[in-house]
Chain A
């Protein structure tokens, strides 16, 4: 009997202590690409403050839908919401949705050409023509022009692309749309597009698998995936005319190049950015938050977390293969973070 009493007392104290520390919880959902750094951030932030952020990586589409429906406290996306989606969300939720860039990623062009083990250079138009099915052999004059030192074989090009909808495809097609009129007229930008040629692989690993197995193939994967798996990728010609290798520095400098002309709402594509060191196929990933939040405690937690992510949070980026935001962009983000209110009042 005594034993039972002790146990029940123990239970009571545990329950009480849990109640007194009633944990604040914020729920979010969205893009899969930044899921790794988000879970690291949320974990670190919970250790510091005890506030719990839950994140479900269900894809950008789901993130946008859920923030419009109000089923989450924040969303996340790899491609910015359209004007139409923003007005729709505003009419449903009665407040604006803000885009806060968190980290950056890049897309690299991987290839498998017999006899070429490094240093393939590609320009945007050439890449677009390959993916349009106009350039079909590796020893095409246009590829040769950018690679005078390489001996390109007379081998058919096998184009591979993502079959699942993804932010990676969004950034890649956004770049091709900017650099090629033909591409923008025939295909356009999107998380999934109507690819004119090629084989589709599911996920980064699917495309990488296709490229690895198929001689003469070309494809695209996330920079993080390529670095982690030591995949060979091409140097891309940027707006300034230089061939640039994708690194975290060259990706961050693309954002720096684009920062001067950035709109206040930070919904911006930074593909084909200016600057001599900029890697041209780069992009932001965004957190989506409400401009005015009803729950004061949650609003405060959200704002404090976002500020933390812009400061200390950025230092985790490169270890997890993301490019950190340049200072100029962080400043713009902080301005937007400070504009978040709770029931119309500023957050102290």
Chain B
């Protein structure tokens, strides 16, 4: 049905004398006979969309750079190394805020990833069918809860629990470490880490589960046939799924870095660098959300946009690192 001849009926008898037209027509005919016009349009259209995404990223970066020009010119690299954030004196240093963002996200990963992998292994390898369906559903449901709801839960349930039980316990038994010292407010880095861990849990675990499932059944059967225990066969499956799980982890990290509402509700919102998890901290996304609406001076606005630019670049770096890791792992697996 895709006969190219039927689509090239564009001959115009009046112009037959025109040699240019003939040569053009010949080329067109040749082109159309080798291409399906629908396919051609489809191909170019999707290419356009793909390029649009690329342009959008560049444009966003450029706009943020332009918007933060005043601040970049004034502070330069000291924006990243100075730890005073003072809108009254118009001195902007984002170090404690960057620190807060990275530490809270990283610690959330440390808690959440082992749990998520455990959940994923149970769901894909161990769980009987009748249990697996409702459990998967619940895990996915967690991913759909709006972050402000997590925040409210954090304020009214998690924070009081941390204040009355967790922090006194930690400072009593592990108080010799600098991480567990100070007054137990409840609000602070620890609360933010825990809430972030809960929030990224469903993403990491449901993607990991899908990845484990995509490992061919024959792998498991082969392992079991060779006399492997269930744990040994699971280890083989995990090895195959390693790069995918890493990708899932990085997606979780991306969510943690950008999370705003729930974090700002429990983190205490103070731009300080403190080793203690009991102390308040601050993250980039929270600062922007908190201060943007009332930022009246140009420099203030510019500094906030520069903060957004730093967050943007940080996200790109995280994603690039994830891609590199996955890629190098795949290569290792390939050459094995």
Q: Answer whether residue A229 sits at the interface, using C-beta atoms and an 8 A cutoff.
A: no
Q: Answer whether residue A85 sits at the interface, using C-beta atoms and an 8 A cutoff.
A: yes
Q: Answer whether residue A210 sits at the interface, using C-beta atoms and an 8 A cutoff.
A: yes
* Contact in complex: B294, A163 (CB < 8 Å): no
* Contact in complex: A190, B186 (CB < 8 Å): no
* Contact in complex: B159, A79 (CB < 8 Å): no
Residues in B with CB closer than 8 Å to A142 are none
Residues in B with CB closer than 8 Å to A194 are 84-89, 271
Q: Beyond the given A164-B289, A191-B87, A199-B270, could you list 4 further A-B residue pairs with CB under 8 A, ordered by the A residue number?
A: A188-B89, A191-B296, A194-B84, A213-B159
Q: Pick the contact of A202: B159, B265, B297 (CB < 8 A).
A: B265
**From residue B257, how far is it (CB to closest CB) to chain A in Å?**
19
Say which one of A53-61, A254-262, A297-305 lies at the interface with B.
A53-61
* Contact in complex: B270, A59 (CB < 8 Å): no
**From residue B135, how far is it (CB to closest CB) to chain A in Å?**
34
Distance A167 CA – B294 CA, assembled complex (angstroms)? 8
Given contacts A167-B294, A200-B268, A200-B269, contact A214 B185 (CB under 8 A): yes
**From residue B191, how far is it (CB to closest CB) to chain A in Å?**
11
Distance A163 CA – B260 CA, assembled complex (angstroms)? 13
* Contact in complex: A201, B269 (CB < 8 Å): yes
Q: Answer whether residue A64 sits at the interface, using C-beta atoms and an 8 A cutoff.
A: yes
Q: Answer whether residue B37 sits at the interface, using C-beta atoms and an 8 A cutoff.
A: no
Distance A156 CA – B184 CA, assembled complex (angstroms)? 12
Distance A60 CA – B294 CA, assembled complex (angstroms)? 5
* Contact in complex: B301, A190 (CB < 8 Å): no
**From residue B249, how far is it (CB to closest CB) to chain A in Å?**
29
- The 18 listed contacts between A and B (C-beta, < 8 Å) are A32-B293, A58-B293, A59-B294, A61-B292, A163-B264, A165-B293, A165-B294, A190-B88, A191-B294, A193-B86, A193-B87, A199-B185, A199-B270, A201-B269, A206-B265, A213-B186, A214-B185, A214-B186
**Chain B interface extent, by class:** 20 to 34
* Contact in complex: A199, B268 (CB < 8 Å): yes
Binary A-proximity of B256-291 (CB < 8 A = 1, otherwise 0)? 000000001100111100000000101000100111
Residue of B88, B271, B301 with most partner-chain A CB within 10 A: B88
Q: Answer whether residue B79 sits at the interface, using C-beta atoms and an 8 A cutoff.
A: no
Q: Pick the contact of B280: A200, A206, A209 (CB < 8 A).
A: A200
**From residue A185, how far is it (CB to closest CB) to chain B in Å?**
11
A residues neighboring B (CB under 8 Å): 32, 58-62, 64-65, 79, 81-82, 85, 156, 158, 163-167, 187-195, 198-202, 206, 209-210, 213-214
Least CB separation from B261: chain A residue: A202
Residues in A with CB closer than 8 Å to B52 are none
**From residue B8, how far is it (CB to closest CB) to chain A in Å?**
46
Residues in A with CB closer than 8 Å to B85 are 194
* Contact in complex: B87, A192 (CB < 8 Å): yes
* Contact in complex: B183, A199 (CB < 8 Å): no
Q: Pick the contact of B301: A61, A187, A192, A202 (CB < 8 A).
A: A61
* Contact in complex: A213, B88 (CB < 8 Å): no
* Contact in complex: A202, B89 (CB < 8 Å): no
Distance A190 CA – B291 CA, assembled complex (angstroms)? 11
Distance A193 CA – B295 CA, assembled complex (angstroms)? 11
Residues in B with CB closer than 8 Å to A61 are 292-296, 301
* Contact in complex: B294, A164 (CB < 8 Å): yes
Distance A5 CA – B280 CA, assembled complex (angstroms)? 69
Q: Pick the contact of A189: B88, B268, B301 (CB < 8 A).
A: B88
Distance A82 CA – B90 CA, assembled complex (angstroms)? 15
